[in-house]
Structure 1
C-alpha cells in the first residue's frame, strides 16, 4: 500500500468514488450523492476540471475528469487515457 502523498490535506477534499476499493458502496449518504463525512478523497491537485485524488482508505492515487468548468480538449483526454480516439 502506498503512503499518503505529501500533498494530502484534509482541508482539500473531494467526493468521488474510489475506483480501486469502492469503499462508499452501500453508503446511503453517498448513494444519494450527498457530502459524506466518511467517504471523501484527498484532492492532491487539479488542472481545470482534471482532479488528482488519493483515497484515504486504500491510498490509491488516480486522475478524475469532472467535465465541469475548463474541460480538456478531446485530444488531451485521449493522451491522458481518459477518452477514446
Structure 2
C-alpha cells in the first residue's frame, strides 16, 4: 500500500504503530519523547479521533486520544 497522497511530514504524531511497532526499542520513544525517526503521518482528525499512517509499513489506523485506544484499521 502506498503512502496516502495527502500525507504531510509537517503533520505528524508520536503514537506507536500497532502493526510494525517501529520505535519499540528506541530509547527516545521509551522515554516518551518526540523522536525524529519514529513518528506517524497524521492524515486527519475529528475531535479526539486521529487518522494515522505509518511511514515504515504504510499501515492505516485510527487512534482515540481521549481513551488512549487504538481502533480498527481504516
Instruction: Answer yes or no: same fold by TM over 0.5.
Output: yes
Normalising by structure 1, what TM-score?
0.77
Structure 1 or 2, whichever has the larger Rg, is 1
User: Alpha-carbon deviation of 1:5?
Assistant: 0.4
**RMSD, matched Cα:** 1.4
Alignment of 1:13-52 (within 5 A): 13-52=12-51
Q: Which structure is higher in helix share?
A: 1
Q: Which structure is higher in strand share?
A: 2
Structure 2: 5+ residue runs without aligned partners? Answer: none
Task: Name the CA distance, whole Å, in 2 between partners of 1:50 and 1:6.
Answer: 20
- The alignment covers a number of residue pairs equal to 69
Shift >6 Å, 4+ stretches = none
Normalising by structure 2, what TM-score?
0.88
